[in-house]
Amino acid sequence: MRQTKIEYAKNHEHSNIIEHWGKNDGIWAWQRFNQLFNHLPLAALIEQKIICMHGGIGRSIHSVEQIEKIERPINMDAGSVVLMDLLWSDPTENDSVEGLRPNARGPGLVTFGPDRVTDFCKRNKLQLIIRAHECVMDGFERFAQGQLITLFSATNYCGTAKNAGAVLVIGRGLVVVPKLIHLLPPPLEPETSPEYVEERHWMQELNNQRPPTPTRGRPQPDHDRSSLAYI
């Protein structure tokens, strides 16, 4: 588990989120992992030209240095707008929607337009932002005329999205090539088999307890906006 998280932190690694949606069984291990999460990098630079992050640049991030200056251990309670934007902001619906808009995820969160992406890349001499945070049906989706890519590697997210996944292969000259991970075919077991029913029930229970990551481009249900997962 530690190896899969070592690249950079995402928005569900804070202890408040884990405590709200998880259980505190094995409190010693729980505390140790949260100490580790609070020291993880929040972004990654590739050849000083491509930046990888979880959410986006939101309203407040104008330079890479702002991300570098975030103090460790990370403390969400400090209310850093930079940290909130980095972990929770999303691009607007499409390239025609510019500027900053309220984010349907909850109060205080924003979406950012292609003009923000262009300005950020120009200021920091970057050619691409790679981010996640939203399920996209083809596993990847370009934004801001290709200056931003949303990447999502989990197929059939939460057992309901029917999406493909993708990985990005970065080659010589920083050429980015998406590789699709196709959705698995339906199980051979009939839908009435005990194995299928048990798996379906488990996935439904999980989705009821924690609202899943929104599928980009689809209307979203009106989840409880007071929940930690939603804000």
Q: Say if residue 226's pLDDT is above 50.
A: no
- Answer whether residue 8 is part of any domain: yes
Question: With 70 as the cut, is the pLDDT of residue 27 above it?
Answer: yes
Note the pLDDT tens digit of each residue in 177-187.
Answer: 999 999 877 76
How many separate domains does the chain show?
1
Confidence tier at 158 by pLDDT (50, 70, 90): confident
Which pLDDT score is estimated for 203?
59
Specify if 60 maps to a domain: yes
Say if 83 falls within a structural domain.
yes
Residue 219 falls within a domain, yes or no?
Answer: no
User: Catalytic site residue 39?
Assistant: no
Checking 11-19 for CB contacts under 8 A at 24+ apart, the result is 11/54, 11/55, 11/87, 11/88, 11/133, 12/229, 13/37, 13/40, 14/38, 14/74, 14/76, 16/76, 16/77, 16/228, 17/228, 17/229
Is 230 inside a domain boundary?
A: no
With 60 as the cut, is the pLDDT of residue 18 above it? no
* pLDDT in the model for residue 222: 47
pLDDT given at position 47: 96
Active-site residue identified among 12, 54, 182, 223: 12
Whole-prediction pTM? 0.76
* CATH (domain of 45): 3.60.21.10
Domain of residue 111: give its range.
Answer: 2-209
